[in-house]
Amino acid sequence: MNEDRVPHELIYHLKMGQAFRPVEKIVNLVPFEKIGFRPEPFPYSFYELFWHIRFTQLDILNYCIHSSYEPPVWPGDYWPGKTGPNHEKEWEALKKSYFTERDQLADLIRTSEYGLDDRVAGQSENSDEIHTIFREVLLVIEHSAYHTGQLVMMGRMLGVYPRRDA
């Protein structure tokens, strides 16, 4: 594969992918009144799950770019601690943060300052395994795709998405 193509493909899959609907469409179809409800059998709400996706993406971005990175505590820090936002502005701010930080990851892939094979800034030099920008971007893509499928299933259970759509 042409090496110039790799960044393009990573950004494409980070933002859209081909096997699922873009997150933009999924999060904007669920009415605010339903995002804090936990449909059976899910142990979390649409809001909690999207919050988790965004938090994990931000954590990985920070790991990639900050040498002073301190990992959050698993699992407590990775979940919001409430089923829904207090108001619609909080929900809109969460969505905006997710897309802004996703764009920052795309910029990290595009930039000449970092190479995809470079060790992430937050990893200790003493680590046996090298974590690269490439590895971490793939992790964001995998994690987001996994949970995006859950968002779609949750949307169906909330009666928002048709069975064959999304």
**Which of 59, 64, 41, 49 minimizes the C-alpha distance to 121?**
64
**pLDDT at position 18, please?**
66
Per residue in 101-151, pLDDT (tens digit) is 999 999 999 986 778 999 999 998 888 889 999 999 999 999 999 999 999
Q: Summarize the confidence of residues 7-27 as an average pLDDT.
A: 84
**pLDDT at position 115, please?**
87
Give the pLDDT band of residue 166 (cuts 50, 70, 90): very low
CB atoms closer than 10 angstroms to residue 140: 23
- Sorted by sequence, the CB contacts under 8 Å of residue 130 that are 6+ apart come out as 119, 123
Delineate the domains of the chain, giving CATH numbers in brackets. 5-12+22-157 (1.20.120.450)
Burial of 108 (0-12, 13-18, 19+ CB in 10 A): buried
pTM (predicted TM-score): 0.93
- Sorted by sequence, the CB contacts under 8 Å of residue 63 that are 6+ apart come out as 69, 71, 120, 121, 122, 123, 131, 136
